[in-house]
Amino acid sequence: MCLTAEAIALFLNIIMVPEITSEPGRIIVHAESRDAHWVAVEDEWCTMAPQIDRMARFAALKAD
């Protein structure tokens, strides 16, 4: 999933996570379950968090 710079700024303000780390080209949102990494790709910020969450849910289903 990718967001524009304006959309990622709005998203980060809305979620109000107390711990966010940033460095050039990367934003790390430290959530309760795991960290979400956002990476600058051209003029957007992209994350694999939705795909990682989906894989974790499927893995949990297979384990049952």
Beta bridge partners of 27: 22, 38
Residue 18 is predicted with a pLDDT of 85
Residue 53 is predicted with a pLDDT of 67
The reported pTM is: 0.73
Average pLDDT, the chain: 86
More confident: 63 or 37: 37
9 dihedral zone (left: phi>0; alpha: psi -120 to 50; beta): alpha
35-41 sheet: strands from edge to edge = 2-4, 44-46, 35-41, 26-30, 20-23
Residue 16 is predicted with a pLDDT of 83
